[in-house]
Amino acid sequence: MASLGKTFVAGVIWGTIEKFASLFIGFFITVLLARKLTPADYGLVNMIHIFTVFGMVLIDGGFGQALIQKRDVSNKDYSTIFFLNILLSLAVFVALYYSAPFIAEFYQQPSLISISRTLFLLFPINAFSIIQHTLLTKQLKVKQLTLVSVVSSLISGFVGLYYAYSGYGVWALVYQTLTLYIVRTLTLWIINDWRPIIRFSFNSIRTIWNFSINLLGTFALASIFQNIYTVIIGRFFNVVDVGYYNQAFRFESIATSTVTSAVQRISFPTFAELQNDMDRLRSAYKKVINVTMYLHLPIMLGIATIGHDLFLVLLTEKWLPSVPYFHLLCITSSLYPMHMINVNVIKALGKGRLYFRLNLLKYLLMTIFIILTIRYSIIAVLLGYVIATISSCPFITYYCGKEIKYSIYSQFKELIPIFTTTGVMVCLVLSCRFMNIQPTIRLFVEILIGIASYVGLSYIFKLDAFTHLVNLVKKQL
């Protein structure tokens, strides 16, 4: 347990530190691209994002997660899924390639034919890297995974900037995306020395089929509903609104992944290792969710509070219509670690059917609110998204707690100090909005007060997560 715990802690700490480097690169490139490109450019690319994400889900089929959850996996198993991924990627590419005219007609955007057909090349490119990525994730090789992310983000970012500032418009985003997957695949093959053997076994597929098919259903629904708002905005509003929404989503995603990306990669394989020891699993769960929420909640609500100045200073006034969307997306994502960590426990226990049903409940709530709000405005639709997402969180928390014998009441009770401290911090940052000073200076003051007040209150009231983090960092240094 000590060895596994040390591996997990080191992975989260160094993964988070290194993730900041990756996010800084991505954030810097996003800002430069947004200053040059128009909301319509982003809107066009993101109208087909749902098809690329859904295609990726169909190609992997949940097999990657199933291989992580399975305790004993042979090289024959890995090789079988490797070749299956490639065959599926070619089938998906061909199907969507010939569907491009229908996609363009749906959105009433003829240029989407050539754009989508080019972007769909990422399916066969990415298929070659799925098993490589799965192996590094299963082995908790966080540094290697982060290196892949940094290198691919950096190179693809410069490609995107080159084409954007050369006047290629929307094609800068297309070439950036393709370069990202090409470099990512090549880097994974260089870093990981695993190579497939020429073997294909239907028995290998059968042994993980029951678990993976439930994940496939869940991931397929997730890919649809996580991108359904882009489809709705593009179909019922206009391409510029899609661009505004997408920029808000990009900034929110950067903030969300600051802490949770490292935890997401490490928590599932770690919980899978502990699946046969409920006491150790429950103990690991308590520590992970407490520390992750302590870091994540103030980041999300803090940047939501400074959203106006953040967009004004970094992206200029042309992107200010994105701010209300940004506020709502940040509020929705504030509880994301509770959802993510709980479902990782459920997956680690092999409860694929329960995992599917809980997510189905969430998407049912989202569907209801979409039907109720679509006739009004984008803000109304996103408000429905906030309510549906937050409403589903207690259900997932309850059933996870039931599996590991840790009640939902106990879970939320331990998080009350974090919610209270974050609330005070938000109020202090909000008070800065009354300062009649230059926006750049006010943004700096807001960030400084937010960090200082949260850390200071954590120290004064001796929050468990704060003390635990300080001790962990001291041990790592």
Q: pLDDT-based confidence at 36, cuts 50/70/90?
A: confident
What's the average model confidence in pLDDT over 419-429?
Answer: 94
Using DSSP, how many helices (H) and how many strands (E) does the chain show?
22, 0
Degrees to nearest 5, angle at CA 379 with 116 and 358: 75
Q: What is the mean pLDDT of the chain?
A: 82
**What's the pLDDT score for residue 162?**
94
What's the pLDDT score for residue 1? 46
Q: Between residues 68 and 179, which one has the greater pLDDT?
A: 179
Q: Which tens digit of pLDDT belongs to each residue from 332-346?
A: 888 888 888 888 888
Q: Scan for tokens 């098809």, then name that residue.
A: 51
Q: Is the pLDDT of residue 468 over 80?
A: no
Residue 43 in contact with residue 239, Cβ under 8 Å? Answer: yes
Global pTM reads 0.70
Closest to 296 in 3D by CA, of 259, 252, 344, 331? 259
Q: Say how many C-beta atoms besides its own lie within 10 A of residue 474's C-beta.
A: 8
Residue 280: what pLDDT?
82
Q: Are 88 and 58 in contact (CB under 8 A)?
A: yes
Residue with the larger pLDDT of the pair 300 and 76: 300
Q: Is the pLDDT of residue 477 over 60?
A: no
pLDDT at 221 over 80: no
Reply yes or no on whether the pLDDT at 409 is more than 80. yes
Per mean pLDDT, which of 180-189, 290-299, 397-406 is the most reliable?
Answer: 180-189
Specify the pLDDT at position 209.
Answer: 65
Mean pLDDT in residue range 194-221: 72
Whole-Å CA distances, 22 to 28, 148, 257, 286 = 10, 10, 10, 28
pLDDT digits (tens, 9 = 90+) for 428-451: 999 988 888 888 999 999 999 999
Asked if pLDDT for residue 19 goes beyond 80, the answer is no
* Distance separating alpha carbons of residues 337 and 382, to the nearest angstrom: 20
- Provide the token pair at 469: 């983090």
Please report the pLDDT score of residue 2 as a whole number: 46
Question: What pLDDT, on the 0 to 100 scale, is given for residue 447?
Answer: 92
For the chain, give the longest Cα–Cα distance: 69
To which residue do tokens 């929705």 refer? 332
Tell the residue number behind the tokens 């259903």, with chain if given. 217
CA 104 to chain centre: 27
Q: Which residue has the higher pLDDT, 307 or 134?
A: 307
- The top-scoring range by mean pLDDT among 40-49, 69-78, 438-447 is 438-447
Average pLDDT over residues 317-343: 88
Residue 461: pLDDT band by 50, 70, 90 thresholds?
Answer: confident
| pLDDT value of position 304 | 92
**Confidence band (pLDDT; 50, 70, 90) for 37?**
confident
Instruction: Look at the chain and count its residues.
Output: 477
Using CA atoms, how far residue 419 sits from 140, 304, 334, 413, in Å, is 30, 15, 11, 10
Is residue 5 predicted with pLDDT exceeding 60? no
Task: Pick the more confident residue, 300 or 64.
Answer: 300
Question: How far, in Å, are 130, 216, 287 from residue 348 at the CA level?
Answer: 19, 16, 17
- pLDDT band per the 50, 70, 90 thresholds, residue 68: low
Over 70: is that where the pLDDT of 262 sits?
no
Amino acid of residue 2 = A
The pLDDT of residue 305 is above 90? yes
pLDDT-derived band at 90, boundaries 50, 70, 90: very high
Range name among 74-78, 92-96, 114-118, 325-329 with the lowest pLDDT average = 74-78
Start-end of H helices in 306-434: 307-315, 323-333, 336-348, 352-373, 378-404, 408-430
Does residue 133 contact residue 63 with C-beta atoms inside 8 Å? no
